[in-house]
Amino acid sequence: MESLSVEEIELILDTADSLKEISTRPIKKVPTLRGKTVVHFFYEPSTRTRTSFEIAAKRLSADTVSLSASTSSMVKGETLIDTAKNLEAMNPDAIVLRHNSAGAPHMLAQLVDASIINAGDGMHAHPTQALLDMMTVREKKGRLSGLRVAIMGDIAHSRVARSDIVAFVKMGARVILAGPPTMIPKGIETLEAPVTYHTREAVKDADVIIVLRIQKERQQAFLFPSEREYAQCYGLTAESLAGARDDVLILHPGPMNRGVEIAPEVADGPYSVILEQVANGVALRMAILYLLLGGAR
């Protein structure tokens, strides 16, 4: 998200808006990327990102191949670089990569000629998630500039948080971060997003609340006493939503820890656009593939 200009972000979102309609047709397929090959290489588990990238590529008629760490020769000790060079030898047009190391997609982009699309790298970035979040908010609110966007939860371990902060700030939103002190990384304020440790302060007058998953698998130490206590202090409930704007939108990138960072009545309630995020993920990823592979690079 750092390298994209406001105009480039708007182009991606406008393209996604126009491609969304294809998924509502009886025949959900156009020939735009016929003859192109997209490799989906997911070194970490995924439900939404992997499925939506694969559906997006298929709806544009690209040929797709899927590879995971456990089914690739990486289990025999092959390095990521050798894996990528071998994939490159088969001349794909794009490689969609999810990896547990920050910077892995950036490194591959220096080494191979195919377009490398970051589908989430470690705790660093998840740019297509930030783009689909912005698409969903813009669709509902008609704008991004001037909105008050609260990002709540495990900021420290969240690649979604980092990409969302950069993206929403760049588009003129006012971003506020909230979570327990143990989950707020030092220096995060340099991204122009003030920090509070109080849920009510973050929620007050919010137009958009992005709730983040507690990433237990990335935590090296116990960062909160118990899930029950976390839910009481930092979980978004119908009660803690009280100070938000009447037309607040609730987003969550998934997967959710129901009853921990978000109460079921909020996740399934009238302000939630969580499944609309998932639907928009297909259109947004169609736009990325189209813009990278559909014309001149």
Selected catalytic residue, list 59, 98, 213, 285: 98
126 catalytic, yes or no? Answer: yes
**Measured between alpha carbons, how far is 166 from 163 in angstroms, rounded to an integer?**
5
Least Cβ distance, residue 246 to ligand CP (angstroms) = 27
Q: Which stretch binds ligand CP (CB under 6 A): 12-20, 22-30, 42-50, 75-83?
A: 42-50
Site for ligand CP in 250-279 (CB under 6 A): 253-255
Least Cβ distance, residue 253 to ligand CP (angstroms) = 4
Q: Which of 252, 269, 268, 4 lies closest to 133, judged by CA?
A: 252
76 catalytic, yes or no? Answer: yes
Please select the residue that binds ligand CP; options are 37, 49, 64, 257, rule is CB under 6 A. 49
Shorter beta-carbon distance to ligand CP: residue 166 or 174: 166
Site for ligand CP in 141-200 (CB under 6 A): none
297 catalytic, yes or no? Answer: no
Establish if 46 lies at the interface with ligand CP (CB under 6 A): yes
Establish if 127 lies at the interface with ligand CP (CB under 6 A): no
Establish if 129 lies at the interface with ligand CP (CB under 6 A): yes
Q: Which of 191, 153, 196, 154 lies closest to 173, judged by CA?
A: 191
49 catalytic, yes or no? Answer: yes
Establish if 92 lies at the interface with ligand CP (CB under 6 A): no
Report DSSP state, residue 101: S
Contact code string over 208-247 relative to ligand CP, x by CB under 6 A? ----------------------------------------
Please select the residue that binds ligand CP; options are 18, 47, 70, 232, rule is CB under 6 A. 47
Tokens 């959900």, located at residue: 28
Question: Taking a C-beta distance cutoff of 8 angstroms, is the pair 48, 278 a contact?
Answer: yes
Q: Which of 292, 201, 278 lies closest to 46, judged by CA?
A: 278
Q: Which of 44, 115, 43 lies closest to 79, judged by CA?
A: 43
Q: Which stretch binds ligand CP (CB under 6 A): 23-31, 40-48, 235-243, 266-274?
A: 40-48
Q: Which of 193, 155, 198 lies closest to 173, judged by CA?
A: 193
Shorter beta-carbon distance to ligand CP: residue 93 or 133: 133
Question: Taking a C-beta distance cutoff of 8 angstroms, is the pair 240, 217 a contact?
Answer: no
Question: Taking a C-beta distance cutoff of 8 angstroms, is the pair 286, 129 a contact?
Answer: no
Please select the residue that binds ligand CP; options are 10, 17, 30, 48, rule is CB under 6 A. 48
Burial track 208-219 (b if 16+ CB lie within 10 A, e otherwise): bbbbbbbbeeee
Establish if 15 lies at the interface with ligand CP (CB under 6 A): no
Handedness of CA 294, 48, 250, 233 (dihedral sign): negative
Question: Taking a C-beta distance cutoff of 8 angstroms, is the pair 284, 12 a contact?
Answer: yes
Question: Taking a C-beta distance cutoff of 8 angstroms, is the pair 31, 61 a contact?
Answer: yes
| Beta-carbon-side half-sphere exposure of residue 253 (alpha carbons within 13 Å) | 30
285 catalytic, yes or no? Answer: no
Least Cβ distance, residue 120 to ligand CP (angstroms) = 6
Active site residues: 48-49, 76, 98, 126
Chain residues binding ligand CP by CB under 6 A are 46-50, 120, 126, 129, 253-255
